[in-house]
Amino acid sequence: MIIGGIVLAVIVLYGIIVYNSVVSRRNKIKEALAAIDVYLQNRFDALTQIAETVVSYAKHEREALTELTMMRQKISALPASTDKITQLEQVEEGLRNINVQVEAYPDLKASDNYLHLQRTINDQEEKLSAARRTYNANATSYNSYIASIPNNIFASIFGFKEADLLNIDESKKAEVNVKNILRG
Amino acid sequence: MLPSYEETLAALRIPEVELKQLQQVHKRKLRTAINWFWISAVITIAVCFIVYGVAESDGLWPILTLVLSLFCLIRIFSVHAANKRAYRLDYKHKVVGPLADTMLKLAKLPHETRDYEKYCDYAPEAFIDRAWISKSELFVTDIDDITGEDLFTGKYGLTEFQFSELKMTRKETTTDTDGNSTTTNVKVFDGVLFAADFKKHFSGLTVINTKVIKRDTGIGKLVSKFINAAVSTANKRANQKIELENVEFNHHFIVQTTNEIEARYILSSVLMEQILSFVNQHPHPLVISFHDSYMFIAVYSSKNFFDDGIGKSTPNGEYNLQGIYNDLSIFFRIIEEFDLNTRIWNK
């Protein structure tokens, strides 16, 4: 009876420890996701500023920029998730298509404002990359923890599910042909 | 890329005449001290002969002259030591400083722009000050005494840097069972501390400690985890231990940080490879920290850096600066090897 009680107490205690560990890991994933959201917003803002300067030269792109900004506002209102990140990146792709036209305006490209914005984007890209790496590291740690024995028993009791990893878009995995890009 | 030793030597104007003149002055001082010793020795012998031999008395004069002779003998050693110190200092001012500056001025960096600067100032008796040592966050214990020498400061490309030799100790008092207390000086650090303005902006703290024991599997992994944590010099403020994607990097180092995302922002895959390459080329244990947009590297070694070959010459009579050149190259190359001049981010 006493032994049974002790065994039960150990199981309950272990269950509490597992629960707390999983919650802590899950919170780290949420924190990384929130950071990705912030850096995406910052990158989008920098890209928009470049797009604004390009549009002041190439007036026919004004409509496209307005549409993209409205789409972005709708997506921003959503809670942080991997789907939201994918949608944001699609909107940003549209911005980059506007910004590539800066090649036609060498004065704009050499301006201090443009260079500063470009450095801001580079910075945000690095931070975004770091946030993604952090997310994936924490998600992997969380997934390994809830999949290992005997934690998987408690994880299924408490309803913890595997976290998705952030994957690279298939188009970005393809080999890059620089010649084709330069030809336009 | 830094110039070769031969290129540097060819461009360096060593003031040989001045240095030789200095050596002549020192030799004269030493000869004077030796001459006084011989004079006092002869006087001592003469006085002893007169007092004990001829007069057969117990006078104090022989003792006084003996004391004078001993004083003159001690004076020889102190003059020799003072000469050596003065010569080293003068040699460092006239040779080591210009050597460092010439190395940077002749260096060729990729993608040089008009913003690039290349110069190095040298103060042989100065060292990195306490404010910078604290800023590095590399030394968790109290430091009671700091000494050092050979402070180099300057700019190489877009990167400002400074480094010097440092010896830091703390006082430890122990009390035995009888209540007697003994204070000893415990070494905290002996080596070179290098600081450079990093190419990215960040505000947190990330510390990279070399693992003492490197075991990645089995019981060895558990044991090494405890031992490495026990001997860690990492600041306790960096309390998040993280593992990065580079397996070899994790095998050699423990990374602790105040902000995981910032640590990964700093430690890109390229930088991790650069750090591994640097460590493989240099045998001294080291700890690296990134704090407040600066990079700090503490190289642990009891070797006397930047002093090798002072006053010595090669068989054909030239000044032997190879050792000092090699020591300086280690630290100047940090800026090249870690690509600190690539500034494509806002800072």
A61 min Cα distance to partner chain B (Å): 28
pLDDT tens by residue, B7-21:
998 898 888 787 778
Distance, CA of A36 to CA of B70 (rounded, Å):
78
CA angle A42, A48, A52 (to 5 degrees): 150
Residue A184 has pLDDT above 50, yes or no: no
Distance, CA of A44 to CA of A69 (rounded, Å):
9
Of the listed ranges A14-18, A117-121, B126-130, B250-254, the least confidently predicted one is: A117-121
DSSP tag of A176: P
pTM: 0.82
- Asked if residues B292 and B232 have their Cβ atoms less than 8 Å apart, the reply is no
Give bridge partners of residue B119 from the DSSP assignment. Answer: B155
Label residue A93 by pLDDT band (50, 70, 90).
confident
Which secondary-structure segment (H or E) carries B173?
Answer: strand B159-175
Number of structural domains chain A divides into: 1
User: Closest chain B residue to A135 measured between Cα atoms?
Assistant: B261
> In one letter, which amino acid is B19?
L
Identify the residue whose tokens are 């704090």: B291
Distance, CA of B136 to CA of B130 (rounded, Å):
10
Give the model's pLDDT for residue A180. 54
Identify which of B201, B243, B265 has the shortest CB distance to residue A130.
B265
Q: Greater confidence, A143 or B110?
A: A143
What angle, 0 to 180 degrees and rounded to 10, lies between the N-to-C axes of helices B322-337 and B97-106? Answer: 40
Is B259 part of the contact surface with chain A (CB cutoff 8 Å)?
Answer: no
Which secondary-structure segment (H or E) carries A10?
Answer: helix A2-57
pLDDT tens by residue, B182-204:
888 888 899 999 999 999 999 89
Best mutation target among A25, A36, A126, A129 (most B Cβ atoms within 10 Å) is A126
Domain span at residue A156 reads 2-183
Is B346 part of the contact surface with chain A (CB cutoff 8 Å)?
Answer: yes
> Does the distance separating the beta carbons of B345 and A119 come in below 8 Å?
yes
> Does the distance separating the beta carbons of A131 and B345 come in below 8 Å?
no
Work out how many CB contacts closer than 8 A connect A with B. 42
pLDDT tens by residue, A19-71:
999 999 999 999 998 898 888 888 888 888 887 877 777 676 777 778 888 88
The closest alpha carbon to A136, from A161, A164, A170, A171, belongs to A164
Give the mean pLDDT of B12-39.
82
Distance, CA of B34 to CA of B27 (rounded, Å):
10
Give bridge partners of residue B163 from the DSSP assignment. Answer: B152, B194
Per the omega criterion (within 30 degrees of 0), is the bond before B285 cis? no
Distance, CA of B54 to CA of B51 (rounded, Å):
6
Residues in chain A with CB shorter than 8 Å from the CB of B263 are 130
Distance, CA of B21 to CA of B24 (rounded, Å):
5
Distance, CA of B74 to CA of B37 (rounded, Å):
9
A151 min Cα distance to partner chain B (Å): 20
DSSP tag of B125: T
Residue B224 has pLDDT above 50, yes or no: yes
Residue A170 has pLDDT above 70, yes or no: no
Residues in chain A with CB shorter than 8 Å from the CB of B268 are 126, 129
What angle, 0 to 180 degrees and rounded to 10, lies between the N-to-C axes of helices A112-147 and A151-158? Answer: 110
Give the mean pLDDT of B143-159.
94
Q: What is the DSSP string of A104-117?
A: G-HHHHHSHHHHHH
Give bridge partners of residue A61 from the DSSP assignment. Answer: none
Of the listed ranges A37-41, B153-157, B194-198, B273-277, the least confidently predicted one is: A37-41
Q: What length does chain B have?
A: 347
Q: What length does chain A have?
A: 184
Q: Greater confidence, B145 or B44?
A: B145
Identify which of B243, B261, B344 has the shortest CB distance to residue A119.
B344
pLDDT tens by residue, A102-151:
777 777 777 777 788 888 888 888 998 999 999 999 999 999 999 999 89
Give the model's pLDDT for residue B316. 58
Label residue B235 by pLDDT band (50, 70, 90).
low
pLDDT tens by residue, B164-177:
999 999 888 888 88
